[in-house]
Amino acid sequence: MAALDLFGRRWALRILWELRAGPLGARALLARCEGLSSSVLYQRLRELTSSGIIAPSADGYELTRLGTELSGAFRRLDEWAVTWAQELERNEQEPTET
């Protein structure tokens, strides 16, 4: 349950999603996460670092081995989300019976 508590915190998953392609600094993360405050960003970075999912790097922050494994789950979730959205769209386009 600790993982769900961590990932359920506001912006945690978005930060991990943005780091999936490679290291980013705090400014880049703030730019990519519109509406994220710097205080929340630094709090999440501390939490994700202490949990071993990300680590500081010369370029900012990057996924650790565990974070990279988690990134694979995000790809599967993203694929599912695309299928789900397409299904919703198909259902909305079907005529309703009256």
pLDDT of 62 above 80: yes
Q: How far apart (Å, rounded) are the C-alpha atoms in residues 86 and 94?
A: 13
**pLDDT at residue 74 in the model:** 84
Q: Identify the three-state secondary structure at position 73.
A: helix
Report the pLDDT averaged over residues 76-82.
91
| CA 75 to each of CA 17, 26, 32, 65: distance values in angstroms, whole numbers, following the listed order | 9, 23, 18, 16
Chain position carrying tokens 């490679």: 22
pLDDT of 93 above 90: no
Q: Whole-structure pTM over 0.85, yes or no?
A: no
Report the pLDDT averaged over residues 24-53.
97
Q: Give which of 37, 53, 72 is closest to 29, Cα–Cα.
A: 37
**pLDDT at residue 64 in the model:** 97
Name the band, by pLDDT with cuts 50, 70 and 90, for residue 1: low
Q: How far apart (Å, rounded) are the C-alpha atoms in residues 38 and 93?
A: 42
* Choice among 38-42, 64-68, 91-95 with the minimum mean pLDDT: 91-95
Contact 23, 57 (CB under 8 A): yes
